[in-house]
Structure 1
Amino acid sequence: MSRHYLFLLAQGMPAAGLQWPVLLYTAQGEQCRTTLGALPTWLAGAAVVLVLPMEMAGCCKLDPVPGRRPTRESLAYAAEEQLAEALETLHLAFGPPDAGGYRQVVTVALEEYRHLMSMLQAQGIDPVAVHVDADLLGTEEACALWFEGRWLLGGADGTRLAVSERQAHVLSRRLAPRLWLAEPGSPGEALSDKHVASAVGRLVDGGGTAVDLRQGPMRRQRSSPPWQALGGGMLAALLLVCLADYLRADWLQQQASLQHAENVQMFARWAPGQVPGADLAAQVQALEQRPGPPTAVERLAMFADPLAGVGNVTIEHAEAKTSEGWTIDVVAQGFDDLERLRQRAPGVRMGHARQVGEGVRATISWLEAE
């Protein structure tokens, strides 16, 4: 992630307001000077590292504290006797233990720190980290850096100070030997023993080992991870799918009910008198397989058996009448043949008969047995 470094300059401390002068060092290596209340709008939501002047902070070395992972409370109580102010008025930040178990402790006034953070957050800036400039000199070697009109002392010996040029001349003879760094042509060049191309670039490079003040009650409130938003979206989508399935099932059930009602009406017209059952398809199939009423030809064929037994009788014309049965014109060789037919076929009544050249022509009626 590309980070922009926002340095609060020490000369703005007395006012500590929106006119506080700042030095902005962008992720592209560009520098610009402005005030705390006139920061570029594009910093809102960007990854900003806030750097406080050492003059705002205190620093001490904490002896090893018993326990594998001591709590913040136990670390604070262990550091209390080294602090000049009450714990309630301070925000404490602890570095990781070194090889000997010692920790770097950085303190800032709690109310002043909260006020500063509220001014930044009002502009949409929520720093990803907060450091102190003297703590950005790293831990590899004891050194000093000329930065913004004063010397920053830090490095491996645990010293964290910001002093004037005159004070630096005194301390250079009393402190352990250290590397004095300054940009060419700067006022600190007279005391330096090595040049750096960019003092602010040197501080940015040392951020990996600096104590981050965004911890404990002042830690950054991270936004919800993307998967939570994705999970919410998936849940909403799942609910929509379930709702769509429910509505479709309800619609299909309504259509099925309408179709069943239409089928019952069609069944009543097709098979009057039949009571529709639960399985109309099976009921229709059973009714189709049931033998239907005999046709007129089939019913007349029933008359053929007694007629064949008599012999010598021929049907010339037959007519079925709904209530009166059949009226049949026959031709027989004699009257005795007609008598035998009457005896063999119950329901036969003889009508008028007359003698003709080919035999006897008669009209009979036949009522089918129920």
Structure 2
Amino acid sequence: MSIRVGRLAIALPILGWLLFGWVTWFAVTSGWRETTGGVRLVDWHVYFAGARDLANRDLYRHALALDGLVLSSPVFNLPPLAAAWALPLLPMPIDLGGQVWQLIAAGCVALAVVASLRMFEIPTRVLWAGLVLGPLSLTLLYLEGLHLGTNNYLVLALVAGVAWAYLAGHDRTAGLLLALAVGTKLWPIVIAVPAFRDRRWRTLGWLGIGLAIQGIAVLVWLGPDFPGDFLAALAVQIPPTGLLFGPTADPVLREAWNRGLGVILAAVLLILPVRGRAGLGLAIIAGLAPIANLWLTYGLTILLAVSLVGAGLLRRSWPLRRAAGIGQD
């Protein structure tokens, strides 16, 4: 019986990896033909157009356009690094580059799951990640973002890397990865709050160095008008793309959320005196709270955050349970 159990314990994760790989390949190469809505790769089109403008040194100075293709935003309202990630794919045809981008996104999801298992001290984590990735690949939490060509999965991998490095005490790695995450999507800057609370000055210092390097490089490349152009692009209201999940799915709640309810929730979560894993998880949720229209494509990041909070609370309660004799023979 033990031999059968051992074989099953190995076979199931392998099957999970195979399922994840097959679903990803099918969705990228042909599965999209079964979809409706005309939103395939609309986020990727924004990154590609932004990368072209960045290469031409005129990012943020005009509306985006890409050979008549549908874009999820009329302007590039993301930091410059979000465009820079797409620069290596510019020589490719737009559609082929989008498919490569989708495969990179899938790899980022896999890396995030492996990093998460490492944080939770699960042995043989690369193998066991298949138990998570297989079922996950069949959900909208994965397929919707893959279909849109979002960079949220890249940010997920960066944030998972930040959390792993932070909890492992690798301050330089945590700070530099956080700088990349902030330079891509801004909202991860809230992770600096628990770092400040935990007095992780080296992490914050490396975050500052990473952001300073990015800022200097962008100013040199785009010129002194960059800050004003960037802030003007950020002020443009972008209608949501794809399916809505969470509070913005309801029109009434969406209006209240956009009027400040999401920001209030974020502030409440950030001021809670929680440290360690739980503090990181709450900070991630706080960063995503104001942008609830993106919760579906950030669903995997929310799962990571909830897992961190749960693991942190369990680690806090376990010493109390042992002291009370709960769970002991």
Shorter chain as denominator, the TM-score bin is: under 0.3
- Greater Rg by CA: 1
Q: Which has the higher helix share?
A: 2
- Superposition TM-score, scaled by structure 1 size: 0.23
TM-score (norm 2): 0.26
